[in-house]
Amino acid sequence: MASQTAREFRHIIRVIDTDIDGTLKVPYALKKVKGISLSLARAILARAGIDPHMRAGFLTEAEVEKIEEIIKDPAKYGIPGWLLNRRKDLETGKDLHLISADLILRTKMDIEKLKEIKSWRGYRHAYGLKVRGQRTRTTGRTGKTVGVKKKAAAKGGGGK
């Protein structure tokens, strides 16, 4: 604990163009960067040699740079391929890990490609329907559809 008091505490830390709350523990703080899961954050900290129980506000500039370096090329530092978010990329065929704006852009490009080749998933995306096989009879309704229409009961008894 003496090592943490000697370090300067910062309330906001900038990692990969994302402001991170310094009061969070380091793995949960890294999770705030889009594209980094908790398991990947723990693997990054293990490779960087940083204590995962430390608060993010106590990270030094050198430690933040080391974390950013590992995030930019995780395969180079021995992070396993199953932790990466884009395995066997269609264009390069390599395992990649995308973060923040790159991840959002690549996802949009993938959806546009599905629409362009007129696949089933592309069709569902284009028409704003559920894509992953969920039911659509009762959920996912948009517009003014609120209730269920029932047939009007026949008047006059139910004779022969």
Residues in the chain: 160
Say if residue 43's pLDDT is above 90.
Answer: yes
Domain that holds residue 20: 2-83
* Domain count along the chain: 2
Residue 115 lies in a domain: yes
Residue 149 lies in a domain: no
Name the one residue in this structure whose structure tokens are 């923040």.
100
- Which of 83, 118, 151 terminates a domain? The answer is 83
Residue type, 24: L
Residue 159 lies in a domain: no
Same domain, 56 and 129: no
Give 132-147 pLDDT, tens digit per residue.
Answer: 888 888 887 777 666 6
Going by C-alpha positions, the residue among 13, 103, 120, 102 that lies closest to residue 61 is: 13
Same domain, 71 and 33: yes
Query: Which range (30-39, 57-66, 78-87) has the least confidence?
Result: 78-87
Contact, 56 vs 25, CB < 8 A?
yes
Residue 156 lies in a domain: no
Give 95-110 pLDDT, tens digit per residue.
Answer: 888 888 888 998 899 8
Residue 143 lies in a domain: no
By 3-state DSSP, what share of the chain in percent is helix, strand and coil, each rounded to 5? 40, 10, 50
Contact, 42 vs 50, CB < 8 A?
no
Same domain, 104 and 59: no
**pLDDT for the residue numbered 97:** 85
**pLDDT for the residue numbered 116:** 94
Confidence of residue 17 (pLDDT cuts 50, 70, 90): confident
Same domain, 64 and 121: no
Sequence-separated (6 or more) residues with CB below 8 Å from residue 102: 35
**pLDDT for the residue numbered 156:** 64
Residue 37 lies in a domain: yes
Say if residue 155's pLDDT is above 70.
Answer: no
Going by C-alpha positions, the residue among 105, 104, 111, 151 that lies closest to residue 131 is: 111
Name beta bridge partners: 20: 13
Same domain, 107 and 75: no
Using DSSP's 3-state secondary structure scheme, residue 69 falls into helix
Same domain, 49 and 74: yes
- Which DSSP helix (H) or strand (E) runs through 14? strand 12-15
**pLDDT for the residue numbered 138:** 82
Distance CA 120, CA 131 (A): 8
Residue 118 lies in a domain: yes
Confidence of residue 151 (pLDDT cuts 50, 70, 90): confident
Tally the C-alpha atoms within 13 A of residue 35's C-alpha that lie toward its C-beta: 22
Same domain, 76 and 106: no
* CATH number where 23 lies: 1.10.8.50
